[in-house]
Amino acid sequence: MSKGRLFIVSAPSGCGKGTILAEVFKDRKVYYSVSCTTRGPREGEKEGVNYHYITEKQFSQMIEENGFLEYAQFSGNYYGTPKKAVMEKLEQGIDTVLEIETNGAFQVKEKIPEAVMIFILPPSISELERRLRKRGTEDEATIAKRVSEAEGEIKRSFEYDYVIMNDDLDPAIADFKEIIDNYADPDARAQGFKTKNEQVKKMIEEVLEK
Ligand code: 5GP
C-alpha cells in the first residue's frame, strides 16, 4: 500500500486554523495527530482529544525513550508529537495532519522531507490581536506574549512550502483544499501559494507591517 501523505500545518493562535482544518478534511479520511503537552487543559478541552496532558517528568521520559517525532517549548510549556501513532498511520496509507508550531515543523521536515508544510497567515498583526481579545480565553499579558510569538512565527513562514491568507474563511478553505489536492501538479493554482512566489513573499511582508 502506498504511504499516507503528511501535512504540517502551522498558524499563530487566533488564525482560525481549527475551523479551516475541520472544513477541509470534513469528507476526507485523515488522522489528526494528538500531541502531548505539559500545559493544563483550557476550558472545554478534553484529554486524548485536544491533547494528552502530561507532566514535565513524563515529557522528559518520552524524550529519553525517543518517543517524539519532534518536540518544542512554546510559551513556557512543552509540546510534542508522539512518533509511533504518526508513523503507523502513514505506513497504513492514511493521510496525517500535524498542527504544530514552527520549531517542531522544521524538525519534522528534516526527518520527513516529503511532508508538505502549510502556514496560515492572519490578515495583519493588529487583526490577530483583535481576534485573540475577542476569544476572551487569555488575559492581556498572555495576549501580548502570543502577539509577539506570532510575529516570530510569521517571519519563519517564508521557509514553508505554502502560505495561505485567512482574511475570509471561505476563500481560505478553498485555497487550502487546492493545495492538498494539487500540490504535485506543476500547472495547478496551488503553485500560486508557494513561498517562492514573489507575490506570496510580499503578502507575508505586508502582514508583518500592519
Ligand atoms: P496551544 O497552547 O494554543 O494549544 O498551542 C500552542 C502552540 O503549540 C500552537 O502553535 C500549536 O500548533 C503548537 N503545538 C501543538 N501541539 C504541538 C506539538 O506536538 N509540537 C509542537 N512543536 N507544537 C505543537
The pLDDT assigned to 139 comes to 86
Q: Measured in angstroms, how far is the CA atom of residue 186 from the centroid of ligand 1?
A: 32
d(CA 29, CA 13): 25
The pLDDT assigned to 1 comes to 54
DSSP 15: S
> What residues contact 19, with CB distance under 8 A and at least 6 apart?
169
d(CA 21, CA 173): 8
Q: Measured in angstroms, how far is the CA atom of residue 2 from the centroid of ligand 1?
A: 29
Burial of 85 (0-12, 13-18, 19+ CB in 10 A): middle
Taking the domains of the chain in order of start, what are their residue ranges? Answer: 6-33+94-209
Q: Measured in angstroms, how far is the CA atom of residue 96 from the centroid of ligand 1?
A: 16
Helical (H) or strand (E) element with 31: strand 31-32
Residue nearest to atom 21 of ligand 1 (CA): 100
Q: Is 38 in the pocket of ligand 1 (CB under 6 A)?
A: no
Q: Measured in angstroms, how far is the CA atom of residue 93 from the centroid of ligand 1?
A: 25
Q: Is 161 in the pocket of ligand 1 (CB under 6 A)?
A: no
d(CA 92, CA 108): 19
What is the average pLDDT value for the chain, to the nearest integer?
Answer: 94
Q: Measured in angstroms, how far is the CA atom of residue 21 from the centroid of ligand 1?
A: 15
pLDDT in tens, the chain (210 residues): 569 999 999 999 878 889 999 999 999 999 999 999 999 999 899 999 999 999 999 999 999 999 999 999 998 899 999 999 999 999 999 999 999 999 999 999 999 999 999 999 999 999 899 988 887 777 899 889 889 999 999 999 999 999 999 999 999 999 999 999 999 999 999 999 999 999 999 999 999 998
- For the domain spanning 6-33+94-209, the CATH number is 3.40.50.300
The pLDDT assigned to 186 comes to 93
Ligand 1 atom, smallest distance to 104 CA = 22
Q: Is 52 in the pocket of ligand 1 (CB under 6 A)?
A: no
The pLDDT assigned to 146 comes to 87
Q: Is 79 in the pocket of ligand 1 (CB under 6 A)?
A: yes
The pLDDT assigned to 135 comes to 79
Q: Rounded to whole angstroms, what are the CA distances from 60 to 36, 57, 66, 80?
A: 11, 5, 10, 11
Cell 481549527 appears where?
A: 18
